[in-house]
Amino acid sequence: MRIAVLSGAGISAESGVPTFRDDKNGLWARFDPYELSSTQGWHSNPERVWAWYLWRHHLVREVAPNDGHRAVAAWQDYADVTVVTQNVDDLHERAGSTKVHHLHGSLFEFRCDACDSGYTGPLAAMPEPSLEVDPPQCGCGGLIRPDIVWFGEQLPDGPWDASVEAVVSADLMIVVGTSAIVYPAAGLPELALSRGVPVVEVNPEPTPLSDRVTLCVRQSASSALPALLPQLPELLRQARAKRA
Ligand code: BJW
Ligand code: ZN
């Protein structure tokens, strides 16, 4: 059986990584997304954007995968599992998932904003997220930026193509911990449904996708995912009977 998992910030929330859009603890409740996650924001204040990503880089290094990440990795014992993640953390990999495609980049990769060269040099210690820190400079004079996909930027071709392939060839898609509003990632469950692939959403809150998926599991990732696979045939049967 082939399983495609689309994950978002919610799966890492229980590890202590804030989500983006939750009312109180979400990053966007405290910080302006278009200032910190756009090329325009970068060009107008690279020191502020750099401090924010440096803070998140260090934060993620200090946290550990949770039972949700571990359950997805454990599914590999029974199925061919491909993880498509919007997350820029490495918690799926650290939990043991081997096929992981990052649609929005990584907090652990850096490149020059002028010549695109990768950067593996030293990084400053963890700052306060709202401070300003000078980004390192490339030999070409450009500034080193996080290798993250900001609003208005194209997703990397390789991970995107591999994700589409995983979704269209899956027998089952699990969508976990995403508000499903950021495109093109949010289009992947719709693509699965259009190909007849059953889609199961795991999220304590409803999303724009909830009405269209095959089954909604209204629980947190760490409580739902460990028990999900053995229950799925019965849950899907019940969901289909309800719709018929
Ligand atoms: C739990 C839980 C628990 C909590 N267990 N669950 C109009 C229409 C359509 C598209 C567009 C449009 N205008 C602009 C666009 C394009 C734009 C877009 O989609 N914007 C929308 C917001 C409208 N997309 C782009 O720009 C993308 N590029 C692109 O389209 O290129 C082509 C193009 C080029 C030029 C012009 C136009 C198009 C790029 C998108 C890049 C996204 N980048 C970010 C930030 C950078 C990464 C970073 O800093 O980390 O990526 S935005 C942010 O949102 C981040 C996330 O990956 C992404 C998705 O968020 P996610 O993961 O869903 O998190 P939340 O917080 O939203 O939701 C958490 C969920 O978890 C909630 O539902 C909770 O209930 C749940 N939860 N605890 C399970 N324990
Ligand atoms: Zn350069």
Residue 127 has pLDDT above 90, yes or no: no
Please check whether residues 230 and 179 belong to one and the same domain: yes
What CATH number has the domain bearing residue 219?
3.40.50.1220
Residue 119 has pLDDT above 90, yes or no: yes
Please check whether residues 236 and 177 belong to one and the same domain: yes
Of 95, 122, 148, the residue at which a domain comes to its end is: 148
Which pairing describes strands 144-148 and 172-176: parallel, antiparallel, or unpaired? unpaired
77 pLDDT tier (thresholds 50, 70, 90): very high
Please check whether residues 201 and 144 belong to one and the same domain: no
In this predicted structure, what is the pLDDT of residue 232? 86
Of 126, 148, 170, the residue at which a domain comes to its end is: 148
Q: Which of 107, 154, 182, 210 to mutate to test the pocket of ligand 1 (most atoms within 8 A of CB)?
A: 182
Please check whether residues 82 and 6 belong to one and the same domain: yes
Please check whether residues 11 and 45 belong to one and the same domain: no
In this predicted structure, what is the pLDDT of residue 133? 95
In this predicted structure, what is the pLDDT of residue 185? 98
- Residue 227 has a CB neighbour count (10 Å cut-off) of 12
Q: How far apart are CA 115 and CA 33, in angstroms?
A: 25
Residue 97 has pLDDT above 80, yes or no: yes
Please check whether residues 55 and 73 belong to one and the same domain: no
Q: Does residue 104 have an active-site annotation?
A: yes
Q: How far apart are CA 82 and CA 98, in angstroms?
A: 8
238 pLDDT tier (thresholds 50, 70, 90): confident
Q: How far apart are CA 64 and CA 67, in angstroms?
A: 10
**pLDDT, tens digit (0-9, with 9 covering 90-100), for 31-76:** 888 889 999 999 999 999 999 999 999 999 999 999 999 999 999 9
The angle at the Cα of 191, spanning 187 to 193, to the nearest 5 degrees, equals 120
Residue 244 has pLDDT above 80, yes or no: no
Q: Which ligand is nearest to the CA of 105?
A: 1
For the chain, the domain total comes to: 2
Please check whether residues 8 and 26 belong to one and the same domain: no
Q: Which of 6, 11, 19 to mutate to test the pocket of ligand 1 (most atoms within 8 A of CB)?
A: 19
Q: Which residues of 107-122 are buried (b: 16+ CB within 10 A; e: fewer)?
A: beebbbbeeeeebeee
Name the residue range of residue 131's domain. Answer: 18-62+106-148
pTM beyond 0.85: the answer is yes
Question: What letter would DSSP give residue 75?
Answer: G
Please check whether residues 39 and 131 belong to one and the same domain: yes
Please check whether residues 141 and 161 belong to one and the same domain: no
- Residue 67 has a CB neighbour count (10 Å cut-off) of 18
Please check whether residues 96 and 124 belong to one and the same domain: no
The rounded mean pLDDT for the chain is: 95
Q: Is 66 in the pocket of ligand 1 (CB under 6 A)?
A: no
In this predicted structure, what is the pLDDT of residue 31? 84
Of 148, 176, 208, the residue at which a domain comes to its end is: 148
219 pLDDT tier (thresholds 50, 70, 90): very high
Please check whether residues 130 and 190 belong to one and the same domain: no
Please check whether residues 160 and 222 belong to one and the same domain: yes
Query: Beta partners for 146?
Result: 110
**pLDDT, tens digit (0-9, with 9 covering 90-100), for 2-28:** 999 999 999 999 999 999 998 777 888
Q: Is 60 in the pocket of ligand 1 (CB under 6 A)?
A: no
What CATH number has the domain bearing residue 124?
3.30.1600.10
In this predicted structure, what is the pLDDT of residue 59? 95
In this predicted structure, what is the pLDDT of residue 131? 87
DSSP H or E stretch at residue 88:
none
Proportion of the chain above pLDDT 90, given as a percent: 84
The span from the first CA to the last CA of the chain, in angstroms, equals 25
Residues 6+ apart with CB under 8 A from 236: 198, 200, 214, 215
Output the six-digit token pair for 63.
Answer: 């946290």
113 pLDDT tier (thresholds 50, 70, 90): very high
Between 149 and 238, residue with greater pLDDT: 149
Q: What are the respective helix, strand and coil percentages of the chain, to the nearest 5? A: 40, 20, 45
Distances (CA, A) of 10 to 26, 46, 201: 10, 27, 12
In this predicted structure, what is the pLDDT of residue 241? 87
